[in-house]
Amino acid sequence: MPESRPTGEAPEAAGSPRSPRSPRSPASRRVHLPSAALAAIRRQAGAAAPAECCGALIGLLTERPPSSSSGPLTCEEMRVARVRPARNVAPSPTRYEVAPEEIAAAEVEAAEIGLEVVGYYHSHPASPPVPSPTDLEAAWPWYSYLIVDARTGELRAWRLAEDRSAFVEDDLRVFGDGGA
């Protein structure tokens, strides 16, 4: 997704960035997104249509104990601090590609403020915010992927399953004023 999309290669072969997190997927993940970031993603999606828009999610990922003994073994909390729009270097209604130098710039920007790139977002100009087969083919397992329906503004969060066979929907929480 963020690089050389679509490649169909394993992330290691495609030169994907390494994650400091464990490659094991959590049992559940909650993604916290500021409403101002949601508004920015929606504006970018509208402006890019009929092509897909894209960008990086900069924030922090932490593990927390489950809320109940019957819950998952671990839960992750992802807090997005800001979004970093990227230019789609392969603009299309069904694909996007973020240039490697933009991925590197997002990593540097995040590190400078003590955060990391925790995921990527893109739009679906003419379909619901559900991952496509192309999205599955190019995804990296440790990131969250936000997909916005450019027609309705609906936004959903996804992550790649541990076995890379499908996406798992994350619990998206929008907070703050002015965009939800």
* Residues forming the active site: 52
Distance CA 147, CA 64 (A): 25
Distance CA 109, CA 75 (A): 27
| 138 sits in which H/E element | helix 133-138
- CB < 8 Å & 24+ apart, contacts of 63-72: 63/26, 66/27, 71/27, 71/28, 72/26, 72/27, 72/28
Distance CA 138, CA 11 (A): 8
Contacts of 46 (CB under 8 A, 6+ apart): 150
| 109 sits in which H/E element | helix 100-112
Tokens 């996804």 appear where?
158
